[in-house]
């Protein structure tokens, strides 16, 4: 692992950190989901990869658990009580699961984490219900975490949810807008969309523990900012994987983002670059008609040739570095800092 | 208006009460919705009947505003600060709107409040997003109401949301179950479903103000119970309107509940009654095949003949009386009690 800020290399392995946090959080997460009505319970468990659509245990791989890990580390960083940290981690993981279940409906995504998406397996109406159940459970978990800072924590989560919805709204609206011309989506719009869609929940995850522990607004703010940077880095890498990721690793079809006209950073960065490849890409994407598989293949080549791939990876590294700068700016528990750094590295290096 | 507990008649008009509460709450509700991302803002405003699908003002009639009125009256009953009452009222009205938007997707309902449902007007994916936005806004509004009791209020709302989801899950699952035989839906199951689907939010509405005002658990509990009774009465009347309501008044197609196999009280009560009409109804509903329009027409006649209509109306009156008993059991501001009684009467007498 290389450090882009010249900081000391971390000793922790990101997978060890993710595993440790998962062991800490997953029992409480399962207990919470278990408390739901049997039907949303089944669909929720399925969405976490704990069972197949019939309820038989352990079918698909679950998510990486990045958000729960950030929540645990954020709490440990400021010495929050373990119980509060776990409740916060459960809440952000539930919100993430809710947003995936509903986003897959909105995006028409049939695949998720190497299996069917919830709406594909159970139907659209039931999937709406499952998402609602997970959403409500998140709020209930956090509000029930007790302590004098529960209301502030819920306010933080609610603010993140507002941004999440706004980001998802822009993401959907951008699909219908052109790649070129006066109506084209510009990079600042993309950045605002990503800040909502991905940055808000990662910022919330990392700052929720400090809020629950009653940490100073300065510390809360810095960790929230670090989380937002990590969200931007995470999304940039997701965008890369959406074009060049191995379907066997991502569990999603190849070139899916391109075929749908999703406004992702590699394409926007390529179009904004000067040069012949950028102009050929603009010519290919200019017509209102969606790309076919052959067009998507050619577009991927031109995006890379125009520098969109490198620029996006550089942006991911830049945002990770910015997150690390934030973390160095506040006094945190040393072991936690080490683990956080390990995790930030993982966010850009996963599956690339 | 007749009183079924022999209590003194109320002087307030229910429509005056609803109007007064609407005037108090709607500006804050509009301000909250106005703060959303433009797209969910448009869909949310449409769902409230404030604009048409293009955004032009004032197309359709909004809802009755029963929940916001209960929230205002519950708060006033215990002397809660007006601001807290309004935030609570806005939150329950937003939750109600969210649940309608999502339920219409799940139920495939194309009509709502004399216009198109949100999913019909904007598409399923956007409607999922609109519901999520309203849900998040409700939580944000309540958590931001501030005060030392904000966390308790959010816990109350989250508990209601859990029940709401469970009730909606049962409502959907019941549609697929038979009317007769060992797998038939029984009245106690119906009651539990209704308690979740309708009772939980009305109980929450009426007790939210007291929670925000820091009223004693006894007062909170009694008002919650009163609200739950009112919810059961409200749902019973809704069930009646779903069969015998005038489509011009309800804004919904005639016999819609029967055609869909929705397990409503008039049918369950009729089937549970002894007698020839009940047996003929069981014969008509027994086959797994759904009713056609002619079958629904005949079923409606048999339900009435078997006593299902009268039994359901009696149940509505019984639950209103139970709610009134609750209200008499706690010391409340006299004017509020008068208005609450007026509202309870309205719940069973609307459009019948």
Whether residue B132 is contained in a domain is answered as yes
Whether residue B233 is contained in a domain is answered as yes
For residue B168, what are the domain limits?
A: 14-349
Question: How large is the angle between the packed helices B82-107 and B14-34, nearest 10 degrees?
Answer: 80
* Residue B110 touches partner A, C-beta closer than 8 Å: no
State how far the alpha carbon of A171 is from the alpha carbons of A86, A253, A257, B63, B64, in Å. Answer: 31, 19, 11, 31, 34
d(CA A36, CA A28) in angstroms, rounded, equals: 13
A100-127 residue pLDDT tens: 999 999 988 888 776 899 999 999 999 9
**Which residues from chain B sit within 8 angstroms of residue A173, using beta carbons?**
39
pLDDT tens for chain B, residues 1 to 352:
333 444 445 567 888 999 999 999 999 999 999 999 999 999 999 999 999 999 999 755 667 899 999 999 999 988 876 777 899 999 999 999 999 999 999 988 887 776 899 999 999 999 999 999 999 999 999 998 867 888 899 999 999 999 999 999 999 999 889 999 999 999 999 999 999 999 999 999 999 999 998 899 999 999 999 999 999 999 999 999 989 888 777 767 778 888 888 899 999 999 999 899 999 999 999 876 778 889 999 999 999 999 999 999 999 999 999 999 998 888 888 888 888 888 888 888 876 4
A207-249 residue pLDDT tens: 999 999 889 999 999 999 999 999 999 999 999 998 988 877 7
Interface contact A132-B131, CB threshold 8 A: yes
Q: Which long-range contacts (CB under 8 A, 24 or more apart) does A63-67 make?
A: A63/A96, A63/A97, A63/A113, A64/A18, A64/A350, A65/A18, A65/A21, A65/A22, A65/A25, A65/A93, A66/A18, A66/A202, A66/A234, A66/A343, A66/A347, A67/A92, A67/A93, A67/A96, A67/A201, A67/A202, A67/A205
Q: Is A66 exposed, middle or buried (0-12, 13-18, 19+ CB in 10 A)?
A: buried
Distance between B54 CA and the closest CA of chain A, angstroms: 16
Cα nearest neighbour of A163 on chain B: B37
Instruction: Specify the pLDDT at position A191.
Output: 97
Interface contact B132-A133, CB threshold 8 A: no
Region for residue B333 given its phi and psi (left: phi exceeds 0; alpha: psi -120 to 50; beta: otherwise):
beta
* Cα end-to-end distance, chain B, whole Å: 13
* Residue B214 touches partner A, C-beta closer than 8 Å: no
Q: Where are the beta strands (DSSP E) in A68-144?
A: 111-112, 115-116
If you write DSSP's letter for every residue of B250-297 in order, what string do you get? H-S-TTHHHHHT---HHHHHHHHS-SHHHHHHHHHH-SSSPP-HHHHH
d(CA A251, CA A324) in angstroms, rounded, equals: 30
Q: Residues of chain A whose pLDDT is less than 50?
A: 1-8, 352
A185-211 residue pLDDT tens: 999 999 999 999 999 999 999 999 999
Report the length, in residues, of chain A. Answer: 352
Interface contact B132-A166, CB threshold 8 A: no
Mutate to test the interface with A, among B38, B127, B132 (most CBs of A within 10 A): B132
Instruction: Specify the pLDDT at position B126.
Output: 96
Distance between B27 CA and the closest CA of chain A, angstroms: 20
- Cα–Cα nearest to A190, from A259, A293, A275, A270: A270
Mutate to test the interface with A, among B38, B84, B124, B139 (most CBs of A within 10 A): B139
Distance between B239 CA and the closest CA of chain A, angstroms: 22
**Which residues from chain B sit within 8 angstroms of residue A129, using beta carbons?**
102, 106, 165, 168-169, 172
Whether residue A223 is contained in a domain is answered as yes
Element (H, E) at B115: strand B115-116
């998402």: which residue's tokens?
Answer: A131
Instruction: Specify the pLDDT at position A109.
Output: 85
Alpha helices in chain B (DSSP H): 14-34, 38-47, 66-77, 82-107, 118-122, 124-143, 150-175, 187-194, 200-212, 217-244, 247-250, 256-260, 265-272, 276-285, 293-305, 308-328, 334-349
Distance between A101 CA and the closest CA of chain B, angstroms: 11
Please name every residue paired with B181 in a beta bridge, in sequence order, or none if there are none: none
**Which residues from chain A sit within 8 angstroms of residue B117, using beta carbons?**
none
Whether residue B9 is contained in a domain is answered as no
d(CA B107, CA B128) in angstroms, rounded, equals: 13
Whether residue A54 is contained in a domain is answered as yes
* Residue A132 touches partner B, C-beta closer than 8 Å: yes
Quick check: pTM over 0.80? Answer: yes
Whether residue A2 is contained in a domain is answered as no
Say how many domains are in chain B. 1
- Cα–Cα nearest to A99, from A290, A231, A267: A231
Is this complex's ipTM strictly greater than 0.90?
yes
Q: Is B79 exposed, middle or buried (0-12, 13-18, 19+ CB in 10 A)?
A: middle
d(CA B312, CA A220) in angstroms, rounded, equals: 55
What is the domain-level CATH number for residue B296?
A: 1.10.600.10
Mutate to test the interface with A, among B169, B176, B260 (most CBs of A within 10 A): B169
d(CA A72, CA A343) in angstroms, rounded, equals: 12
Distance between A229 CA and the closest CA of chain B, angstroms: 22
Cα nearest neighbour of A193 on chain B: B37
Whether residue B44 is contained in a domain is answered as yes
Whether residue A293 is contained in a domain is answered as yes
* Residue B154 touches partner A, C-beta closer than 8 Å: yes
Distance between B349 CA and the closest CA of chain A, angstroms: 32
Please name every residue paired with A115 in a beta bridge, in sequence order, or none if there are none: A112
Interface contact B128-A140, CB threshold 8 A: no
**For B132, which of A157, A158, A165 is closest by C-beta distance?**
A165
């Amino acid at each position: 692992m290389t450090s882009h800020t010249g900081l000391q290399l971390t000793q922790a392995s990101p997978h060890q950190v993710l595993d440790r946090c998962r062991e800490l959080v997953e029992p409480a997460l399962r207990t919470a989901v278990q408390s739901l009505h049997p039907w949303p319970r089944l669909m929720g468990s399925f969405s976490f990869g704990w069972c197949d659509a019939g309820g038989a245990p352990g079918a698909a791989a679950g998510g990486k658990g990045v958000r729960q890990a950030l929540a645990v580390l954020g709490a440990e960083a400021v010495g929050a009580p373990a119980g509060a940290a776990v409740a916060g981690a459960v809440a952000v993981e539930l919100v993430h699961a809710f947003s995936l279940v509903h986003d897959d409906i909105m995006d028409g995504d049939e695949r998720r984490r190497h299996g069917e998406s919830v709406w594909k397996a159970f139907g659209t109406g039931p999937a709406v219900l499952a998402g609602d159940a997970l959403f409500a459970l998140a709020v209930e978990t956090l509000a029930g975490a007790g302590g004098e800072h529960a209301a502030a924590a819920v306010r933080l989560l609610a603010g993140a949810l507002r941004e999440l919805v706004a980001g998802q709204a822009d993401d959907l609206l951008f699909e219908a807008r052109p790649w070129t011309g006066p109506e084209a989506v510009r990079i600042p719009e993309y950045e605002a969309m990503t800040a909502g869609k991905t940055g808000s929940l990662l910022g919330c995850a990392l700052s929720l523990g400090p809020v629950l522990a009653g940490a100073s607004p300065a510390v809360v703010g810095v960790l929230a900012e670090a989380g937002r940077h990590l969200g931007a880095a995470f999304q940039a890498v997701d965008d890369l994987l959406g074009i060049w990721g191995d379907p066997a690793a991502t569990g999603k079809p190849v070139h899916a983002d391109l075929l749908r006209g999703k406004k992702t950073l590699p394409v926007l960065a390529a179009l904004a670059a000067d040069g012949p490849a950028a102009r050929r890409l603009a010519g290919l994407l200019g017509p209102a008609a969606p790309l076919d598989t052959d067009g998507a293949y050619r577009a991927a080549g031109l995006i890379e040739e125009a520098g969109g791939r490198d620029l996006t990876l550089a942006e991911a590294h830049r945002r990770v570095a910015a997150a690390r700068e934030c973390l160095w700016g506040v006094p945190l528990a040393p072991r936690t800092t080490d683990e956080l750094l390990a995790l930030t590295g993982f966010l850009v290096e996963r599956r690339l």
